[in-house]
Structure 1
Amino acid sequence: MREGRSASFYWLAAFFVAFVLFLYGPMIAIVLLSFQGPTGGMTFPMNGVSLHWFGKLWSGGGIVDIKSAFSRSLQLGLVVMALTVVLSTLAGLAFRKKFFGQNLLFYVTVASLIVPSIVTSLGIALQFRIFDDAIKAYAPAFISDEWTTGMGLFSSALGAHLTWTLPFGLLIMFAIFNRFDGRFEEAARDLGATPWQTFRHVVLPIILPSLVGVGLFGFTLSWDEIARSSQTIGEKNTLPLELQALTTTVTTPEIYALGTVTTGVSFLVIGIALASILLLRARQAKQGSDAGKGML
């Protein structure tokens, strides 16, 4: 005989459903309202269904220059992603061996996860203001009359975003190399491989699916970052800052269309990353199977 489910199961199931709705309900509402008709408002009920607000958003004559803001965020996210992958990999390899100041470097790296984001951005902004004053005072010949500050997308903002993404990348690399079988490297060295060949042909293919995850962290954390960007971005805003600035002044569903676009990009990147991981693992499994058949 099959016993029926207890009452606690249904209470927990209801709690789980309520929790999921609490997390994703606002996002679902924004996505639905972004498809309002041309005469639709900011709340339910919907007045028709159309792509009117998406068209107005991309036309360039709406509440924000979506193309420029989107381009800036995309460029910054891609650069942060690449640097996070490269620097995290190099740091993970370096931390496999003992060196002087190892613990201090680790604590300094992960400290930015503890320090409030706004404090980190204010500190970086203060450093660049000091740098600007020093340039104007001691090296005026190296700057033009139109130059105002060294703060910008790929200077202060890039550094601020890396203080957020690198600790995550480093912790992931620690987890990867803690379960990495060093016998693969020993076998490669016994066969005469150089350190670079060992990394290129042995280590990298094994850790590559995990590096895709590190890149995913780097891009998505940069793409959605507001606090660290707010004080360090310079004269032009990224897309999340534009979106934040519009939340108190916008009066049309265009802002919902903008939120849907930014959310869609995040989900697209996550989907590409997961598909890449699955393909790489399938390729590794096939290569391992082919190698086993070759030995037989």
Structure 2
Amino acid sequence: MNNNRTAGFWFLALFFVAFVLFLYGPMLVIVVLSFQGPEGGLTFPLRGLSLHWFVKLAEGLGVVDIGAALKRSLGLGAAVMAFTVLFSVLAGLAFRKKLAGGNALFYVVVASLIMPSIIVSLGIGLEFRLLDNGIKWVLEALGFTTTLEEYGTSLGLFTSALGAHLTWTLPFGLLIMFAVFNRFNPAYEEAARDLGATPWQGFRHVVLPLIAPSVVGIGMFGFTLSWDEIARTSQAIGDVNTLPLELQGLTTTVTTPSIYALGTVTTLISLVVMAVAVGLAWGLSRKQKKGHHE
């Protein structure tokens, strides 16, 4: 066997290395700089090695409540993950049969992928402001003056922001479920029905275990896409901020490695979620293969 590499191979290898460095280099730089000592700055060379800036981050960055923003992002990400999984699985099951207007519905769902994110955010924000005007008009017409005075806005974390994030995550979940069910063997369901299983029992004991690894993957996509989303959140969240929005604002005001420490924490959370999802998917796949062998 000839082990000599051609010039084309080395060119592609160097291109791949450059691409990986371009993709992950900034993240690595931020992680390294976040572990500087008390005299550390925002650029190299590294000055000392400590957890000083993580301690400063825990103490708070000025008027910004990082802990509250973190909780909001985690809560929103969990809600987006749950709804993305639920709607994607239901839509995947529905599209297994020919639906009237199914093609039009599919294109409406995936159209949000090609729409500029900021336009989607502006549109959702405008819709909810119009909804606010309608609610206030109804309250005024009904004479509920106390409720009208106490009413703020329908814009919020689990209303407009949740809807904005779902316009981003649902198309990915739906496309994954289409791919899964496209290669799904219906013979398993037919065998379950022949044995007397109801449609729900067939789904719970046959279909769901087979598609479980993909469902875990959809959940991971839902959380991670929501976790770092800025554009679709900016105009649709109301008077609170998620962690990415706070991080974006801090880049113009914080001039210490604390901002790098915050970036490291957010990256670590993303990696933990991905590791858990990959572990669950691997475990479910292994259990599935073991069941087939038995």
How far apart, CA to CA, are the structure 1 residues paired with 2:173 and 2:218?
A: 5
Equivalent in the alignment of 2:270: 266
Equivalent in the alignment of 1:104: 104
Count residues in correspondence: 290
How far apart, CA to CA, are the structure 2 residues paired with 1:266 and 1:243?
A: 15
Query: How far does residue 156 in structure 1 lie from its aligned partner after superposition?
Result: 0.2
Equivalent in the alignment of 2:87: 87
Query: How far does residue 7 in structure 1 lie from its aligned partner after superposition?
Result: 2.3
Deviation string 1:216-253 (CA, Å, 9 cap, x unpaired) is 11000000100000000111100000001111221100
Moved more, 143-152 or 29-38: 143-152
Query: How far does residue 8 in structure 1 lie from its aligned partner after superposition?
Result: 2.3
Deviation string 1:249-271 (CA, Å, 9 cap, x unpaired) is 21100000000111111111111
Please say if residues 72 and 239 of structure 1, whose CA atoms lie closer than 8 Å, have aligned partners that are also in contact: yes
Query: How far does residue 134 in structure 1 lie from its aligned partner after superposition?
Result: 0.9
- 1:150 counterpart = 2:164: no
Query: How far does residue 20 in structure 1 lie from its aligned partner after superposition?
Result: 1.0
Deviation string 1:13-59 (CA, Å, 9 cap, x unpaired) is 12211111111111111110001101111110111001011111112
Question: Where do residues 124-139 of structure 1 align in structure 2 (5 Å cutoff)?
Answer: 124-139=124-139
Match of 1:252 among 234, 252, 256: 256
Please say if residues 33 and 256 of structure 1, whose CA atoms lie closer than 8 Å, have aligned partners that are also in contact: yes
How far apart, CA to CA, are the structure 1 residues paired with 2:18 and 2:81?
A: 34
Equivalent in the alignment of 1:114: 114
> What is the TM-score of this pair, normalised by structure 1?
0.95
- 1:31 counterpart = 2:35: no
Q: Give structure 1 stretches of 5+ with no counterpart.
A: 291-296
Query: How far does residue 61 in structure 1 lie from its aligned partner after superposition?
Result: 5.3
Query: How far does residue 194 in structure 1 lie from its aligned partner after superposition?
Result: 0.5
Amino acid at match of 2:91: A
Please say if residues 57 and 63 of structure 1, whose CA atoms lie closer than 8 Å, have aligned partners that are also in contact: no
Query: How far does residue 143 in structure 1 lie from its aligned partner after superposition?
Result: 3.2
Match of 1:185 among 177, 182, 189: 189
Match of 2:5, SS?
A: coil
Q: 1:52 to 1:116 in 2, by over 3 A?
A: same
Q: 1:246 to 1:60 in 2, by over 3 A?
A: closer
Match of 2:244 among 222, 240, 244: 240
Deviation string 1:75-101 (CA, Å, 9 cap, x unpaired) is 000010011001100000001111222
Query: How far does residue 63 in structure 1 lie from its aligned partner after superposition?
Result: 6.2
Please say if residues 121 and 160 of structure 1, whose CA atoms lie closer than 8 Å, have aligned partners that are also in contact: yes
Match of 2:288 among 280, 284, 290: 284
How far apart, CA to CA, are the structure 1 residues paired with 2:197 and 2:28?
A: 53
How far apart, CA to CA, are the structure 1 residues paired with 2:250 and 2:265?
A: 15
How far apart, CA to CA, are the structure 1 residues paired with 2:88 and 2:194?
A: 28
Match of 1:139, SS?
A: helix
Please say if residues 80 and 226 of structure 2, whose CA atoms lie closer than 8 Å, have aligned partners that are also in contact: yes
How well do the aligned residues superpose, as a CA RMSD in angstroms? 1.3
Moved more, 97-106 or 211-220: 97-106
